[in-house]
Structures are given as C-alpha cells and as structure tokens.
Chains A and B, each alone.
Chain A
Amino acid sequence: MDKVREYTRSPLKSTFQNWRTIILLFILTNLLTLLAVQPLVSGLKASLETTVLYQDLARGFDFTTLADVIRNNTTLMPSFFGNLGLVLIVSILWNVLSSAGIIGVLLHHNNQLSRFWSSGSIYFFRFFRLALYYLLVLSVLGFLGYKFFAKDGLNILQLENEDFLISRFYLVFFFFLALASILKYCIDSTKVYIQQKDHPLIHFDIQSGFRFLFTKEGSIGYGLTSLLLILTLFLTYLFLQGAISGVIATLIGQAVLLIRVTSRVLRNAILVKLIDERSR
C-alpha cells in the first residue's frame, strides 16, 4: 500500500502542476468535437429549428423524426461522415503529438507549454511510427481472432447452432482486450523510453518497454494505470447513463471530459515516475 501511495502521490502532484497542458488538451478536444458535429448539428437545426419536433428529439431518441430528417436531407449523412472522417484523422495526429508533449513536460519537470510543443514536434514521427506498429499488431491480433472465431465457417446453412459462436466471440473479445491492454501499456512505457534515451531508432525503446512490463515497478504501474482507466470509463458510463438534458448535462459532459483528460496525464505521470526511478 505504501508503494502505491508512493507511486501516486508525486505523479498526482506533477499532473496538477501541468494544468496548462490539461486545459490545452481539454480545449483542443472540444474544438475537434465542434468541428466533427457541426454538419449534423446544422442539418438538424435547419430541419427542425422551426418545428415542434425538436422538443421530442431533445427529450430522447425519436425514430420518425430522425428517419425523416435523414430521408429529406440526402446530403446530411454523407457530409457528416465525410467531415467526421477528416476530424478523426486530425484527432489521430493531434493525439500522437499530444502524447509526446505530455511525456515531454512530465519527464523534464517543465510545466511550460513551450516544452509541450517542442517535445511534441521533436518526437512526433517516432511516436507516429510507434502508433502504426501498435495498430499493425492490433490488426494482426484482430485477424487471428477472426480466424479463430470463423474457423468452422460462418455459413448459417452449415451451422449446427449459434451458441458456440457466441462463446467464441466472448473468448476472442476477452483475449483481444487483454492483449491490447498489455500491449498498450508497453507502448506507453516505450514512449517514455523514447524521450528518455532519445535513440533515433525506436526498436531499442520498444524492447525496454516490454522488459519494463515484467519488472516489479512495471507490474505496479500496469495495475495502477489500468485501475485509473477502468475508473474513468466507469465514471463516464455512470454520467452518460444519467444523461440529463439541458445545461446540467452539458456541464456533466464537460466534467467527464476533464476527468478523462486529467487521468490521461496522470497515467503518463505514473509511468514517467516509475521508469525515471528505475533508470536512476
């Protein structure tokens, strides 16, 4: 327990010292969201603003209204999805840059945003490469999972019953999630090593990342960061469940987002602390 306290106290402190970074992440996420939803919001506004149906939609899901909006605005959904795709690409790039920036400010104990931007830009391509590797591994895992899931064929005319497919799906899903989480932890550790060692090639850092997972500090860190992640997701779920309408809902939504952004910084702070201490 003392260990846990030791490994969370100073990361918590450095997280809150980096409030500028947190605010920046929070604002940028909101800006990207605004860009993403704008076509849909505008489309709904144009179709519904002067009708009595908007109230129904504000109260909850209204199939008839939504179906009529989509049917009568044939360009709405294509433009929304097109725009969403673009925003997602920008968000991915931003996430790569910001993860490098976050580790930069934490590792150098420098709370200034200039450090965030400089680390972000210096390590952007190495982090991007790492993200591609991770996606590649996830794709391979997904493919293997699918192969296992469909190993006896998916032709319904050949199936004896569907229950074994359901069990298999849960099995694949569980293993995929577990492996993806462990890998993600290694990737996050690797990100710290990339900035700490500053090798031009990231393969050594990936090895360090994997090695770190199997150390005592590594397993503590894995437990802590996973716990944080689960807690954040659970809190988000709770808030989303009670999605109250109106201003309170918006405030709750913003609060949830802020918690998630903060936990992202905190997760990295824990890892930086663990790896920093180990390297000393």
Chain B
Amino acid sequence: MDSKFFTIILSLVFCLSANAQAVSNSSYVMDIILDVENKKLTGKTTLDWTNTSEDDITEMYFHLYYNGFKNSESTFFKDDGGIPDFLSKDIDEVCGWGWSKINTIISENGKDLLPSLTFEQPDDSNSDDRTVFKIILDQPLAPGESVTLDIGWEAKIPKTMPRTGYNKDFYFFAQWFPKVGVYESKGIRGADKGKWNCHQYHGSGEYYADFSDYTVSMTVPKDYVVASSGQQLEHTIDEQVARWKFQVNDVIDFTWAASPHFELVEDTYKDISIKHYSYPYKSHVAPRYFNTLKFAMEFLEEHLGPYPYPTLTILDPPIHGLFTGGMEYPTLITSISFNFFPEGFRTPETLATHEYVHQYFMQMVASHEVEEPWLDEGFTTYWEARILDSLFNNNSMICLSGVKVGTRAYNRHEFLNSEHPYIASNDLKSYEYIDGGYGTIAYNKTALWLQTLEGLIGQEVMDRIWKTYFLRWKFKHPCGRDFVDIVNEVVMETLSTEYPSGMDWFFEQTLYGTARCDYAVGSITELEPREIRGFFEDYDACEVLDSENSGKKTRIELHRYGDMQLPVEIEVNYSDGSKSHSTWNGKGRSYSFVTQDTTSVLSVVIDPENKLYIDENVLNNSMLMEADRTSYKQVSGSMHHLFSQLIESLSLLF
C-alpha cells in the first residue's frame, strides 16, 4: 500500500475516533441578536430532532430555563439555595428579572404548533413555574424519523443571576435557549418504558441533555467580543454590528459570553486550542490556567481517554460578573480569580481543574445532574483532588507562609465539618436535599468514598474501573447503577479472592447509606508473663513450670465507633524497628489480639496508609505505648515563641 495513502487512511481513522463521535440525535441552527439597549435576545432556532427510541412520539418536552428568573414564584427562586439575598436586592433595584417567550413553533408541514403549547411542572406542581413546556406534534414521529421545528423566541436577559445574565457590559448566556428534553427509551437509566425526562429549573443542578450539533450565529454590537463554546467559523463587522458564528458537534449544551472588554490569550495542548478570555486586568492569570489545564488534560488523557474537541475555552469573568464563574459548559468553562488573592491561594487552578473534569463527567459521560448529582459533581471532585494533588504535591488548595492544604484533605474537612454530614444518602435528586447537604454530600462525600474505594481495591484496579466506565458510557447516559455494576464487574474479575461477591456491601453503606466511619485503637496492654502451675504429669506433685515463653506479649484492642463496616489494616511497630501487619474485617464493635515478640510494642496504627479516607477521626487511629514528649515540647515551644512575640508586640500600642 502506498505510504501516503496509508497515512491518509490512518489520519481519517484517528479523526473519526478522536473527534467526530457522530452521536448526536439533534442539531440546533440558531440565529441570535443581542440587543444591549433593551437587554434582550431575539432568536430563531431550527431544531432537527431524530426519534432514536422504539416508540412513536406524539409530544415533545422543552426546557425554557430563563423563565426560572421570571419572578419570585418560580421553582428556581423557591428552591433552597436558589439565589443569595443580596442578588435578589440587586435584581429588584433595576427590575432585573428575565424571561423567555416562544413566539412561533412551525413544523415541517408549515403548521404552527404554538396553540398546543402548555407549561408543565413535573417536579413540584408549582403552576407558577414556566421552565418546562410541552407541544403536541402535528403527526406522530415513528422510530428513526426526524422532525424539524422552526422556533421563534425572545428572551429578556436577567441581571446577574447565578450562572447567567448581564452586569454592566458583561453578558453571559447559560441555559439561555429553548432546549429539547431527553426522551428516554425503555432501558435507558433503568426506565421501564419510554418517557420524556425534562425537569424544571432548580437552584442546584441543571444538566441532562442529549448530544447535539450546534451552529450558532450571534449578532452583537460591533465592538463586542464573543467567547463561545466550539470553534469560531466567522467574524464579520459592518457599520453597526458584528456577526460571529460558532460551531460544535456532539455536545450537550451551548454557552457564550460577550463584552467589549474581553482580551484573548491563546495556548495549545497537542492539537487543541486553549483560549483564555478575561478583562485585560486579569490576563496575567492566563499562564496559571494554561499550566494547570495542560497538566489536567494530559492526566485525564492517560487515565480516561483524550479530550475529543478541537477547542477549550476558559472564561475568567470580571468581578461584577463573579456569579457566572466556576461553572462547566461543554468546551467552555468559567473560573474565578481575584487580583487581591496571593498566588498561594490556588482558586484559579482548583476551579479550572474541576470544571475541566466536567468535560468528561456530565459532558462526555452524560449522566443526569439533577437526578444523580453525585455521578458528575462527586466524580469531578474526586478527580480534581487527584489531579491537583499530583500537580502540587498535596499543597493544591493553599500554599502560603507554611500553611499547606491539599484539595483532598480540604474536601474531607468540608464534608466532616459541614452542618449536616449525615443528613441524607448520596442518591437523592439535587432538589431533594431540602434540609441541606447537597454540596457536601453530592460533591465531598462522594469524593471521600471514592477515595476510600480506591484505598480498598488499589489504584490500579480503580483506574481500570474508571477507564471501563468512561469507554463504555462515553456519549451515553449512564445511571448510578451502571457505575456500581462496572465496579462489581472489575473487582470480581481482578480481586475475586478478596471481594468474591463484589462491592455492593460497600455501596450500601456509602452511596445508599448514611453510616459514619470511625475506627480507633482502644488500648495497648503489656501482659505479665504467666506462670504455669498446678498438677501436670505427676499427680502427686504440685508444680510451678517455667513461664509460658520468653517473648513479650501485648494485648491490642481496637474499636469501631461508627456504623460503617470496612476491612481495617493494622500495623504494629516494635522497639527494634520491625513492624507486623494484620487485617481486621471491621465488622464487630471491638476486636482484640495478642502479639508476641522478643521486643516491646512501640505503637499501633490502624489504616497506616490512610486507605479509609472516609474515617472521620484520624486522632484515634494510632496509639503509642509511651507519650510523645519530644513532639509535645517542639509544638508547645513553637506556640510559645509565636505568642510571646504577639504579646510583646502590644508594647507598640501601649
């Protein structure tokens, strides 16, 4: 075969596998006009949607997210944590409420379907909520058939809502256009029959969508710069306005932003163009984002698979647009940085990494953020910590004047220190955490038990699980059970001796349960040598034999204070420097054993490699035979030094 031809074929195969996934069942062609005077968007959408199910479809459900900002009665506003009070005040000052309105929905046959439009409230029956609507199709859509709808719509842009809106001349458009829901065929995510899945817009969680191709043209004032999902196809300027056009395929959403002040800084990772948009006074942060993102891209490429899109855009909003920061959108992420933060606070790196991981979990592996938030937020938090702790050597959150905090350690602290760490299990819908705990349970607790799972089964097996999960569910809609099944499958294959029936017992306690985990060393007691005495061979002579043996015996007692039952490794350290290791199945409330050695026991440590990351108290995980006076003196000496300087400094005032 001609080598040139061979190269072309290879390149084609690579391109097909890496970029064009061809998984979309719909396409959006949108023409948008941004009216900055009246704070309005006018849109024309041509939606092409294919029925990939085995059912006849007679109706279609759509999201109309912007109506979440229509008034104070929407579910978004009524939900706990929907919007902070001071944002509400800001909205009221200028009537910064927003809405979205459908003007026409024309089918292929030229029929206007608008009269059939009704608003639905599948989650809470809140009749004031207008974030989901349904239309009746003019004729049923058979399996494999497509429908094309021309939708004319307009939207009033809200002022500075979480994730979207305008402030001054900064505009950010997230969840901004009429978007079709997901028709779940029988079997998808455990569905027993085909049905539409289209939740109202809630304060927490937004993503669940099919993969689509987007071609979006934006007409904006001519001095405005547009930062957007996807690749830029066009940028033309006439006397009054500028026209920008972007395209991206096989994604679950499309987002863009506009401002006359955006400055672009670019970098690349392999063939991927990384674009950083910010106001000029924040451009100096770009290298920090690029360094972190390139590390994250390489890390995930190695552990999961390559990032398949040609662009990745990171937007660092200005301070007055802060509430749009720290969010994930397909091929576009937003972060937050402050010039008054020293570099030791790694907020930009943390957020950029977290949002980038979402490109895998929620974007490529398109789980349901509203119904199972742990599947993307929890997974993302786990990977964020893994990546950042690898990059910054466990100082990834704060590294400032000797104060060092790693992301993983901080996640643990955030969960355990929260008001309600055990108020709910992990498997609730995002809006069901009515008494709190959404963030700490969906994000932090998931990351903790994933870290614990990794500790139990080892990183190699864990990596295999992740790769299997990613490759099997890439560009599909998995549910929690799918992940659990893959864990069981891989564990039973690789660790059949240790865990012959899989890990359901683990998930029952962590994912579906609210048990606490706390193992402790209860006591270490040196036993006195026992004399063996009484009648033995000679029935007439009462004897005292030598002591039982020459070794030293020590009794070690362990406790389980929590209800979670996990296997625990035990390390016993001896005075001659030797160690012994054993395992306790962790099931009983207490467990004791006796060691016998020629030297004395120095200390006992349970979980010495910190595998049970979910253990809520590390203080009782070890015990020394003798108190550590040296460290006590060092620590108290340092504190004395610090406070003596503080007290002496009072003389500067008095």
Determine, out of B53-61, B148-156, B214-222, B642-650, the stretch whose residues face the partner at the interface: B642-650
Question: With a CB–CB cut-off of 8 A, which chain B residues contact A236?
Answer: 645
Question: Do residues A54 and B639 form an inter-chain contact, with CB atoms below 8 A?
Answer: no
A245 at the A/B interface (Cβ < 8 Å)? yes
Question: With a CB–CB cut-off of 8 A, which chain A residues contact B650?
Answer: 88, 91-92, 95
Contact A58 to B634, CB < 8 A, known contacts A52-B624, A63-B404 = yes
Question: A49 — nearest CB in chain B belongs to which residue?
Answer: B627
For the complex, what is the distance from the CA of A260 to the CA of B338, rounded to whole Å? Answer: 37
A68 at the A/B interface (Cβ < 8 Å)? yes
B618 at the A/B interface (Cβ < 8 Å)? yes
Question: With a CB–CB cut-off of 8 A, which chain A residues contact B633?
Answer: 246, 250
B637 at the A/B interface (Cβ < 8 Å)? yes
Question: With a CB–CB cut-off of 8 A, which chain A residues contact B647?
Answer: 29, 32-33, 36, 87-88, 91
Interface size for B (C-beta < 8 A) is 61
* Per-residue B-contact encoding for A222-236, CB less than 8 Å = 1, 0 else: 000000010000001
A249 at the A/B interface (Cβ < 8 Å)? yes
Among residues 155 to 183 in chain A, which have CB atoms less than 8 Å away from a CB atom of chain B? 155-163, 165-166, 169
Contact A161 to B638, CB < 8 A, known contacts A68-B619, A184-B652 = no
Determine, out of A2-10, A40-48, A200-208, the stretch whose residues face the partner at the interface: A40-48
Question: With a CB–CB cut-off of 8 A, which chain A residues contact B404?
Answer: 60-61, 63
Question: B602 — nearest CB in chain A belongs to which residue?
Answer: A52
Question: Do residues A50 and B628 form an inter-chain contact, with CB atoms below 8 A?
Answer: yes
Of residues A52, A158, A264, which shows the largest number of chain B Cβ atoms within 10 Å of its Cβ? A52
Contact A54 to B319, CB < 8 A, known contacts A96-B654, A249-B641 = no
Determine, out of B65-73, B406-414, B446-454, the stretch whose residues face the partner at the interface: B406-414
Question: Do residues B618 and A53 form an inter-chain contact, with CB atoms below 8 A?
Answer: yes
B605 at the A/B interface (Cβ < 8 Å)? yes
For the complex, what is the distance from the CA of A245 to the CA of B167, rounded to whole Å? Answer: 52
Q: Which of B338, B406, B619, B634 contacts A53 (CB 8 A)?
A: B619
B281 at the A/B interface (Cβ < 8 Å)? yes
Q: Which of A36, A51, A61 contacts B402 (CB 8 A)?
A: A61
Contact A55 to B417, CB < 8 A, known contacts A29-B644, A240-B645 = no
* Per-residue B-contact encoding for A6-42, CB less than 8 Å = 1, 0 else: 0000000000000000000000011011101100110
B403 at the A/B interface (Cβ < 8 Å)? yes
Question: With a CB–CB cut-off of 8 A, which chain B residues contact A40?
Answer: 639
A253 at the A/B interface (Cβ < 8 Å)? yes
For the complex, what is the distance from the CA of A264 to the CA of B340, rounded to whole Å? Answer: 35
For the complex, what is the distance from the CA of A252 to the CA of B630, rounded to whole Å? Answer: 18
Q: Which of A131, A161, A260 contacts B319 (CB 8 A)?
A: A161
Question: B644 — nearest CB in chain A belongs to which residue?
Answer: A33
B623 at the A/B interface (Cβ < 8 Å)? yes
B580 at the A/B interface (Cβ < 8 Å)? no
Question: With a CB–CB cut-off of 8 A, which chain B residues contact A61?
Answer: 402-404
Question: B279 — nearest CB in chain A belongs to which residue?
Answer: A161
Question: B318 — nearest CB in chain A belongs to which residue?
Answer: A161
Q: How far is the CB of A14 from chain B (nearest CB, A)?
A: 18
A interface list, Cβ under 8 A from B: 29-30, 32-34, 36-37, 40-41, 44-45, 47-55, 57-58, 60-61, 63-65, 67-69, 71-72, 87-88, 91-92, 95-96, 98-99, 131, 134-135, 138, 155-163, 165-166, 169, 184, 229, 236, 240, 243, 245-247, 249-250, 252-253, 256-257, 260-261, 264
Give 5 nearest A-B pairs by CB, closest first: A253-B641, A54-B631, A95-B654, A58-B634, A58-B631
